Structure 1
Amino acid sequence: MTLPLVYHPIYSQLELPPEHRYPISKYRRLFDYLTDSLTLNERHDIKLYQPEPISVNEVKALHHPDYIDALFGNTLPAAKMRRIGFPWSQQLIERTLMSSGGTKLTVDLARQHGIGIHLSGGYHHAHRDFGSGFCLINDLALAAKHALTLDGIDTVLIIDCDVHHGDGTATLLADEPDIITFSVHCDKNFPARKPDSDVDLALPKSTTTNEYLSAFSGVLNLTLAQYQPDLVIYDAGVDIHQQDELGYFDVCTQGIYQRDSLVLSQCKEAGIPIAAVVGGGYRHDHQLLVELHAQLIHSAMTVFLGESQPKTNQC
């Protein structure tokens, strides 16, 4: 059994203004932590892959070509760039294409190995003709569309556990009957307008670990049984954590591990390949996010490699 991890150094190679809210260094920090703590260079059951950028033609097949031309050519109005939340740069565009290519590669690896994990991804606020909330193009929707071109994959389920509603994914895929969107989010958080996903689980502010897991597990079981997907794309956002600066839940670190393990084990038991992305997580001290995002990899090592559960802070 091989656990594939997808990463590219460009994910953290983006100059942002001081005190910018986006934790751009967390990808490099997570990769460095995994390399050191798991001694990746000495393991044969965890393999690193480096993606290629997704093609502009693929992006234009999903997003409006005029939006993409303006975005990539730096002619997007300033107000629309402010809605995205990043200052424009060529490096931003190159990073965006590479990250979407990484999620696409993760789908291919999941189909081959049963699981793949992308150490980036989850840009679910990008709509057809505009970006929002640090999201320029929607890698989840792009990867799901790609998955449907693969032999044996007729139905894709996107399980989005970021604390923020997957609004862009919902609108982009509203007319795609073979791609099911499932969003688990805080009911009083960004975005203000929450279009319907195929399945929505909106939970109140201050939802605790036990409340979260109880509500989510029931809907997850029903959703898997109803749609019987051939592949799952899983956004394992950690902004559900009790100390996240842009989330309002009260879920502890152990709860994130349990959530990730629940999704991975359900898919493994059902024989459904799962492509996971690390998703959102927001702290001024980027290093504090590393342990939280690492829970996804630890969960995968337990479920797919049979390793023992790591010691984490109890709830």
Structure 2
Amino acid sequence: MIKYRMIREGAARAVPGLEFHEAMPASDGELALAHHPDYVARASRGELSATEQRDIGFPWTPQMIERSRRSSGATIAACRAAFSEGIAVNLAGGTHHAYADRGAGFCVFNDSAIAARLMQAERRASRVAIVDLDVHQGNGTASILARDDSVFTLSLHGENNYPFEKERSDLDVALPDGVGDDDYLVALAAALDKLQADFAPQLLIFLAGADPHEGDRLGKMKLSMAGLAARDQAVFSFARLHKIPVAVTMAGGYGRDIEQTVAVHVQTIKLAKLHAIDWNNGRGD
């Protein structure tokens, strides 16, 4: 959990001109856009079973549920801000293993699915794409949105990594253990081309996981810092080319050296800031 404080402090030092805002907690009604009301109520009251808490990966506390609500609220806020700024970043989020009726894999509520549906309800965008570049498949997101043609789920992930029983996204790109920069970037470029050809989104929610990094304990991929910068730039350039607002979430990162994981996330934020300037300068193109 210390990672998130370190990301904020690192971003404040490394990226001049950022505006920081405290996230508001997502309401029961907002959470219910992606989750069963019974699950929201039981999670909020601390009534999750021992098995449900074990699946999530940490025990229930009032602070845990408050943080989970605010993590979803931050993705909502980032999506709203992206429509005026071009890009905005949640310094946490990317909780893509949470299903409609349960949490899993350190994820309580699925912030991307919630925010996507709320942006549609607010009539900001009718077509939303979730571009999930965490090393693990966004199984909860795929499940929640499986029958929703208005949200496109794209996941590049490790074929042999958690979750071992995958769901079906709109576009899954399963990559082998040890994949490096070049092969990853080729696969990403093809996936983004297909996303635009098949869907033409009006908003991107980008899960910029740090866990594809070669130093990650759980990732099994071999992307360098330069490769991850090229990954982020590919997404941001795609969005700028097609004039699509982008909300970024940090998603996973489990480096052997936590400073390295934080450096990957801060690099994403640096590139996002540059993209925001370029996006705003180029709005009239």
TM-score range, shorter chain: over 0.9
SS of structure 2 residue aligned to 1:136: coil
Matched with 1:238 is 210
Please state if 1:36 is matched with 2:13. Answer: yes
Matched with 1:174 is 146
Deviation per CA, 1:249-284: give whole Å up to 9, x if none: 011111111000010011011111111111110035
Aligned with 2:198 (options 214, 220, 226): 226
TM superposition score normalised by structure 2:
0.94
Amino acid at match of 1:207: V
Aligned with 2:28 (options 41, 45, 56): 56
- Percent identity at matched positions? 37
SS of structure 1 residue aligned to 2:79: helix
Report which stretch shifted further, 173-182 or 58-67: 58-67
Aligned with 1:151 (options 99, 104, 123): 123
1:1-315 map, 5 Å: 24-38=1-15, 40=16, 43=17, 46-305=18-277
Amino acid at match of 2:269: I
SS of structure 2 residue aligned to 1:47: coil
Deviation per CA, 1:32-68: give whole Å up to 9, x if none: 1121233x4xx3xx32222211101221342112222
Amino acid at match of 1:214: V
CA contact (8 A) 2:156 2:174 kept: yes
Deviation per CA, 1:42-95: give whole Å up to 9, x if none: x3xx32222211101221342112222222212211011101001110000000
Mapped to 1, the partners of 2:92 and 2:48 lie a distance apart of 25
Alpha-carbon deviation of 1:240? 0.4
Mapped to 2, the partners of 1:132 and 1:28 lie a distance apart of 23
Amino acid at match of 1:202: A
Q: CA RMSD in A?
A: 1.3
SS of structure 1 residue aligned to 2:129: strand
Q: Which runs of 5+ in 2 are unaligned?
A: 279-285
Alpha-carbon deviation of 1:138? 0.3
Deviation per CA, 1:194-253: give whole Å up to 9, x if none: 110001111011101111011111111121222001111100001001110111101111
CA contact (8 A) 2:211 2:255 kept: no
SS of structure 1 residue aligned to 2:20: strand
Mapped to 1, the partners of 2:198 and 2:275 lie a distance apart of 23
